Structure 1
Amino acid sequence: MDNTQLKQQLVDEVEKRKDELIELCSSLIRIPSENPPGDSTEASEFVSDYLKQFGLEVDWHEASEKMYNLVSSIGDESGKKLIYCGHTDVVPAGDLSKWDFDPFSGEVVDGWMLGRGASDMKGGLAGIIFAFTLFKRLGIELPGQLTLAIVPDEETGGEFGVPWLLENNLINGDGCLIAEPSSPLNPTIGQKGSYWFELEVFGEPGHGSLSPVAGNNAIVDAIAAIEKIRTLWDLDIHMPEEVRELVDISKRYLREVEEEREIFQPVLERITVNIGTINGGTKSNVIPESCKVQVDCRLPFGITHEEVSDYLKKELDSLGIRYSIRLFGFKSVANYTSAQDPVCKAIVENIEFVTKDEAYGVMQWASSDARHFRDYHIPVLQYGPAYLPSIHGYNEKVLVEDIVRCAKVYVAAVVDFLYETSND
């Protein structure tokens, strides 16, 4: 049997067993795994038990209290190594009265899988788990190693999932696929950087009846500072030539695929600035002596954290205010994997194999665990089922057919990556 025939056999098996795949996804959604608080115990036990029923060994690694990383591998470890990665945690469901259905029901209605995590990312998680077991269940001997890494701590940008596994040398590979949500034909092969900071502006308290003559109002000074911070968007950033093609094709994607998002094209080349929270003052008749502002900036290719910090210092110093800046949360620079890397080609070419449509990789304007793999020189991309407008919102859902399609791509891509590249 040649590789194409093997791929088709695997794709056909996914189709034949799709009801089992969908039930697996439903079961995962029915397990609340909100982060915060981040307790992955129940979800991890379910995944481990599911894998063990097929004779697969699972290693447990507790990175923090009730945060478990699961690692399981099959195949020949002396060959090429491919990692399939997914996270069990989901963002909190929030106000349950704003949902049209139980966010933890895992129901299928009119072809839609419903519930928190359906798109981000229990649909993709079910797909990689199912694909992983299929090789074992069919008795297929892989010429390389396929590793399944199930992590607990992605949604808060925490350090107890992928970065912890990598730091402790518990996973390694020649390529990685993260089953994060994407569009059906466009995996994400690059992402912008992150620069989150808290600005604290200091004033002098006084009686509110004397403002603005008396005291020094920290909130007023913070407003002036915010206007300076927002000018980061206006910076003209020189983009390295080697990423120009990726940015241009990502713009094409916004124009031609997600047409309603065409307006977002400039985001790929500029620093975005979100003033996320403002906290200041004690009461209305007291001149505030402190105001804290938390800001989320995403950095395009062509600028560093140091350059952003230098710009902010220059602009804020020009105001003559008293302030401090503290970085927190996500910290990364823009990063990508070449579209010509074997792991990118394996996924993109098998999207085309399964769908018979043109596929290509694009950038995302947010951040994810992919950056950690690239820090360790592991080529990586993201591809998973999703109804993108519902991610992190109320009434999250995903099409059942998208879950099945992605699982077909996952099994086929293993063949191309491990079989064909093993002979290079």
Structure 2
Amino acid sequence: MNKLEEKIVSYIEEHADQLIELCSKLIQFNSENPPGDSKPISKYIESFLEQENISMDWYEAGENMWNITSTIGSNHGKTLIFCGHTDVVPASDLSRWEFDPFSGEVKDGWILGRGASDMKGGLAGLIFAFYALKHLDIPLDGKLMLAIVPDEETGGELGVPWLLERSLIAGDGCIIAEPSSPLNPTIGQKGSCWFRLTVSGNQAHGSLAPLAGKNAIIDAMKAIDTIKELWDMDIRVPDEVQSLINISKEYMKNMENTAYYEVLERITVNIGVIQGGTKSNVVPDQCMVEVDCRLPFGISNEEALMHIRSKLDQLSIDYTLEPFGFKSSANYTSAEDPICQAVMASIEDITKEHAYGVMQWASSDARHFRDYQIPVLQYGPAYLPSIHNFNEKVLVEDVIRCAKVYALTALKFLT
């Protein structure tokens, strides 16, 4: 590391307590989405940055859905975007938590609470790195933009895509503080195909079933069995991404859950919601099913929906299929891109270990940046088993490490 890099890393180490307090405070804001009220947490972030006379621009994309942005550095040279979301998935059944999900308690080296790993630990790191660069008056040969968005967890359109469509953010590279492993940023994502299937039938008295009426739940079960067959589809991965897939498979094989590597080349199918019927003695005339499919390289979102409809059409059921939420095809940023190189070099400077990019088996806001030809990757602190789970937490040391990497990335990329 050069002297400037050593200076910023030392500052983050010496002020680690301030960083961890920031993370704890962010967790204490209940920013569950839905409903998605981002104003309280955004006002707190603004007040934190105002300590260094950093101003924020506010954009309301929907009711209580606030995007906030800020920039430091020079208008000459490249632009790097630090991006993070304030919303979290619902805490759900509070009786299954071992602690208050909105406590932000720091205990035994862990920060506890909903969003600790996804992604308030990473968000705190981005904000603090941005703050530290300004506080130390580090010269940047370009512009560093902080973009904090309210609407990622529902796959909504009121965050990153809303800003991009209006040209309110733009850049030559972007780092999103989504959870990752310490040495392996995610440089590619699978596609997403969420859809809502509504199956219709005919009501009748339950005592006459199956001779009377047409049971929408039974027909929906047939549809579900057909949709589950997507897992067995033979999909050819394009040659250009095969090396990334191979590297990612080896990475996943070395993880605790070694069987998961299969998802990289298959369509995963999760039947997430089923609603149907009114009473046990009434043949149901409607059943609704919500499905989350994740798509590998080799099949687009549109092709997947077309295939699903063609299979359902063969079942002689009365149905409608409506896409919603996350929708994208698989996408990636080359490991050779300058933003990827800057992040990998920064990780290696901090950890003294080899870093390399891998595929993510889910999806994120990264797809929107790639739609606008902005190279992007994800790197953030996380205890992966706790993401979207009860008892979510993140290690204090991981939050500190990531803040250092973010700051070094800014220096390397904007030089």
Same topology, TM > 0.5: yes
In structure 2, how many angstroms separate the alpha carbons of the residues matched to 1:215 and 1:22? 61
Residue 318 of structure 1 aligns to a residue whose secondary structure is: helix
In structure 2, how many angstroms separate the alpha carbons of the residues matched to 1:340 and 1:75? 25
Residue aligning to 2:99: 101
In structure 1, how many angstroms separate the alpha carbons of the residues matched to 2:197 and 2:217? 12
Residue 182 of structure 2 aligns to a residue whose secondary structure is: coil
On the 8 A contact 2:333/2:376 being kept in 1, the answer is yes
Superposition deviation, residue 95 in structure 1? 2.2
Superposition deviation, residue 47 in structure 1? 0.6
Number of aligned residues: 415
What is the root-mean-square deviation of aligned Cα atoms in Å? 1.2
Residue aligning to 2:404: 408
On the 8 A contact 1:8/1:412 being kept in 2, the answer is no
Of all paired residues, the percent bearing the same amino acid is 64
In structure 2, how many angstroms separate the alpha carbons of the residues matched to 1:51 and 1:37? 26
Residue aligning to 1:243: 241
Amino acid at match of 2:353: D
Residue aligning to 1:84: 82
Superposition deviation, residue 45 in structure 1? 0.7
Residue aligning to 2:59: 61
Residue aligning to 1:226: 224
Segments of 4+ moved more than 4 angstroms: none
Residue aligning to 1:422: none
In structure 1, how many angstroms separate the alpha carbons of the residues matched to 2:306 and 2:150? 35
Superposition deviation, residue 56 in structure 1? 1.1
Superposition deviation, residue 305 in structure 1? 2.4
On the 8 A contact 1:59/1:71 being kept in 2, the answer is yes
In structure 2, how many angstroms separate the alpha carbons of the residues matched to 1:137 and 1:311? 54
Q: TM-score, normalised by structure 2?
A: 0.97
In structure 1, how many angstroms separate the alpha carbons of the residues matched to 2:3 and 2:336? 24
In structure 1, how many angstroms separate the alpha carbons of the residues matched to 2:213 and 2:35? 41
Superposition deviation, residue 83 in structure 1? 0.3
Residue 323 of structure 1 aligns to a residue whose secondary structure is: strand
Amino acid at match of 1:223: M
In structure 2, how many angstroms separate the alpha carbons of the residues matched to 1:37 and 1:314? 35
Amino acid at match of 1:153: D
In structure 2, how many angstroms separate the alpha carbons of the residues matched to 1:286 and 1:105? 46
Taking a change above 3 Å as real, the CA distance of residues 279 and 94 of structure 1, as seen in their structure-2 partners, is: closer
Amino acid at match of 1:116: R
1:360 and 2:351 matched: no
Q: Where does the alignment leave 5 or more consecutive residues of structure 2 unmatched?
A: none
Taking a change above 3 Å as real, the CA distance of residues 313 and 89 of structure 1, as seen in their structure-2 partners, is: closer
| 1:177-192 equivalences in 2 (<5 Å) | 177-192=175-190
1:266 and 2:262 matched: yes
Amino acid at match of 1:25: C
Residue aligning to 1:392: 388
On the 8 A contact 1:84/1:177 being kept in 2, the answer is yes
Residue aligning to 1:290: 286
In structure 1, how many angstroms separate the alpha carbons of the residues matched to 2:241 and 2:12? 36
Residue 414 of structure 2 aligns to a residue whose secondary structure is: helix
Deviations 1:36-79 (A, max 9, x none): 11111111111111111101121111111212111110111221
Residue 66 of structure 2 aligns to a residue whose secondary structure is: strand
Residue 251 of structure 1 aligns to a residue whose secondary structure is: helix
In structure 1, how many angstroms separate the alpha carbons of the residues matched to 2:125 and 2:404? 8
On the 8 A contact 1:196/1:331 being kept in 2, the answer is yes
On the 8 A contact 1:28/1:122 being kept in 2, the answer is yes
Deviations 1:88-137 (A, max 9, x none): 11122222222212222222111111111111111111111110011111
| 1:15-164 equivalences in 2 (<5 Å) | 15-164=13-162
Superposition deviation, residue 155 in structure 1? 1.4
Amino acid at match of 1:369: D
Superposition deviation, residue 376 in structure 1? 0.8
Taking a change above 3 Å as real, the CA distance of residues 317 and 31 of structure 1, as seen in their structure-2 partners, is: closer
